[in-house]
Amino acid sequence: MTTRRKNPSELRSQQWFSAPGSAGAHKDRRIKQAGFLAEDYKDKPVIAILSTWSDFNTCHAHFPQRIEEVKRGIWQAGGFPAVVPVQSVSESFSRPTSMMYRNFLAMEVEEAIRSHPVDGAVLLGGCDKTTPGLIMGAASAGVPSIFVPAGAMLRGHWRGHTLGTGTSTWIAEADYRAGKLSETEWRDFGQASVRSTGTCNTMGTASTMTSLVDVLGLCLPGASSIPAVDSEHARMASAAGRRIVDMVWEDLKPSDIVTRASLINAVIADMALSGSTNSLIHLIAMARRLGLDLSVDDFAAASETVPVICNLMPAGQYLMEDFHFAGGLRALLSVIKDHLDTGVMTCTGHTLGEEIADVKVWNDDVIRPLDNPIYASGALVVLKGSLAPRGGILKRSAATPELLSHTGPAVVFKNYSDLKARIDDPDLEVTADSMLVLQDAGPIGAPGMPEWGMLPIPKKLLAQGVRDMVRISDARMSGTSFGTCILHVCPESRAGGPLGLVRNGDLIRLDTDARTLDLLVDDAELARRRAAWVVPAPHYTRGYGELFSAHVTQADEGCDFDFLAKQGVTVDPEVH
């Protein structure tokens, strides 16, 4: 790729440092207060290192060291690094759910870039919501940006078993609730599953989103699969620091890299990876920030394009370490290259086709050939019907095949508190054929659309050996989860969606082949229920919670804020 390189006078940062009069003089002396010389930052790209590190985001515990390695690369390439901490959005510790704070992070990233003398940004993230939040904010800020993925943690081991973060612990929890594991064994099992810093080592939301950002060309090719504690990860961080300096001189922004073709590539790769259901929400939100069209219908179409060839938990048996040493994302893309637009650009300045040329698969059980897939069709399906007029999502590659076509009576929980109070009641009227329905768990309802969609199996059924049932909600599900769970039912209950009108005993029909989800209740009865329905009282009457509830869009629109989900870059303020 040939581009015109910027002149130093065109650098955004120099509007601060070289501003006439007192404005420039003030910035100049204040940066020198930290011990820097003029030659450190004058006429050089100033690179913000946006870090989502905190002691509560244990997936990012290695970021302080990675920051030093990114800095090294920036200095080597002739740039000036400046660390800017942003919201860490810990998946494990943020309440009521990390999803509420993805948009908060995106706003902070956009404003941190806009309000500082920054020419480009290195985005350090990986834990589930940090990846889309960083990309959304950087896209809206409109400066050259490169993503440094946190990398996955090491595989877990317990009593001869290899453990995958999340997936293995969900299985263990069911066994504990069924009385097959003692509490001590259950806790020891859980601790054995988290051996190091890094994100979940299954193809959960973290690995899915970093992989898809890799497909989009926003990180160094292949960076998404490097284990967090591998020395290769440190070298990648420095290389990203070097590359961002050149990206600033080239003025290569996310909007110059990501196109609709790039997004469709990501959706197709998502199907081959058996990616997290959360990817639909995040990719749609990211696309809209770039002014690009992407909808659930694109996911529905891609689902029939490629089979699942990535043999990773929860759909398969291996983990991210195995994926990396089998060739990683570039190897997987080389297998499905005939289904991709390989002419799209990446942050290296080369095309996707150039970046995956001559890449080989080193373990064809981890990354399968197209004629020997893990699952014959794409991982995710979009269901529509009278219960989900704007769609619901099912990860069929992680579902029980016998339940993919099923009609059964609803067992309804009006909210999560109701679920927790009654799910293990021995008098609960439920059988293995029932459809478990959770209401009021969507973006506004829960609030924040938590990962409650993998409703627990009632204890009395666990004791009978039942390990899966059809479960329906307007919630999300962890990418590490599994089961016949229908998620993101849209519109959500609290927005007046038909899910909020379901009553105990109503028949619901799931037909995955037909892509339908229907509530088998006549229109007249539904009209009576709708007339009697009352909007629940809001969770928040002030603060960020009120802002979130008033402006968050529905799942099929990306759950972004309506005032942010639009193309265009806000004009920089005048420097004072």
**Domain CATH code at residue 28:** 3.40.50.2300
340: which residues sit within 8 A by CB, 6+ positions away?
265, 268, 269, 333, 352
Reported in sequence order, the residue ranges of 228-336 that DSSP labels E, i.e. its strands, are none
| Statement to judge: residues 72 and 171 lie in one domain | no
433: which residues sit within 8 A by CB, 6+ positions away?
406, 408, 409
Note the pLDDT of residue 249. 97
Is the pLDDT confidence value at 453 over 60?
Answer: yes
Looking at the structure of the chain, the number of domains it has is 3
| Statement to judge: residues 140 and 43 lie in one domain | yes
| Statement to judge: residues 148 and 171 lie in one domain | no
| Statement to judge: residues 347 and 388 lie in one domain | no
> What band does 404 get if pLDDT is binned at 50, 70 and 90?
very high
| Statement to judge: residues 334 and 439 lie in one domain | no
Residue 553 lies in a domain: no
Is the pLDDT confidence value at 568 over 80?
Answer: no
Note the pLDDT of residue 478. 87
Residue 497 lies in a domain: yes
| Statement to judge: residues 175 and 239 lie in one domain | no
> What band does 216 get if pLDDT is binned at 50, 70 and 90?
very high
| Statement to judge: residues 443 and 512 lie in one domain | yes
> What band does 228 get if pLDDT is binned at 50, 70 and 90?
very high
- Model confidence over 511-556: pLDDT tens digits? 999 999 999 999 999 999 999 999 999 999 999 999 999 999 999 9
Is the pLDDT confidence value at 1 over 60?
Answer: no
Q: Can you give the residue range of the structural domain that contains 173? A: 158-192
**Domain CATH code at residue 444:** 3.50.30.80
| Statement to judge: residues 182 and 221 lie in one domain | no
Residue 216 lies in a domain: yes
Residue 576 lies in a domain: no
Residue 342 lies in a domain: yes
Residue 293 lies in a domain: yes
Classify 555 as helix, strand or coil: helix
Strand pairing class (156-158; 161-163):
antiparallel
- Model confidence over 160-206: pLDDT tens digits? 888 888 888 878 888 888 888 899 988 888 888 889 999 999 999 99
Residue 363 lies in a domain: no
- Model confidence over 415-437: pLDDT tens digits? 999 999 999 999 999 999 999 99
| Statement to judge: residues 133 and 102 lie in one domain | yes
Residue 42 lies in a domain: yes
| Statement to judge: residues 217 and 121 lie in one domain | yes
